Amino acid sequence: MNDLHQRLERTPVVPLVQASDADTANRITGALVKGGLTVIEVVLRTPAALECLERVAADNPGALVGAGTVLDQQQCRAAIAAGARFIVSPGLDEGVVATAHEAGVAVLPGIATATEAQRARNLGVSTVKFFPASRAGGPGMLKALASVFSDLRFMPTGGISPDNLADYLAVPAVLACGGSWLTPASAVAEGRFDEITGLATEALNLAAAARG
């Protein structure tokens, strides 16, 4: 987890990469890395997701590549075998947490309530995904959770955009923010990868301003 934390302290934005083929996933990743974002979450939402993950992890040694939308132990094992260096889930599943811990891979399970945050903490998790962030109470809810779970860090995802990124990053307990606004489907479909690079650079500039 230390490598992931250190990287996110420097670049506290995690883009989501979703593609139906490995070549496209690689081009998206290249555009993001060019823009300065080097922590990449390849989401397991397409039939080719594991192939995309394996290719991105192999072809981008300067990036820290993980798997997102991991729903069960089988997916977790497959993602780790494909090269994932961290695991992100939309919810809290004890089997996924245990499998990642056994493999020595960082895991960020999704939580939206104090009960889930407490359970994750007591399972040995140090950083959780706060999801869906905008629907679950936004920065205000994060401040409330952080006030009682002082040893947890949070990665809010869901409804994050350039308009509110700074609000989330201003919460001290927030390690980083995740989101798909950095890889718009229209830009991917039309091959406008320079636009993705621009969004990555913009996000980093916003993050730097928010963190002072």
Residues acting as catalytic residues: 41, 129
Task: State both tokens at 105.
Answer: 């891979």
- Specify the 3-state DSSP secondary structure of 108: strand
Token pair in block for residue 190: 């039309």
The HSE-up count of residue 156 (CA atoms within 13 Å, CB side) is 28
40 DSSP β-pair partners: 65
Residue with tokens 């090269």: 83
Cβ partners under 8 Å of residue 171, min gap 6: 139, 142, 143, 146, 154
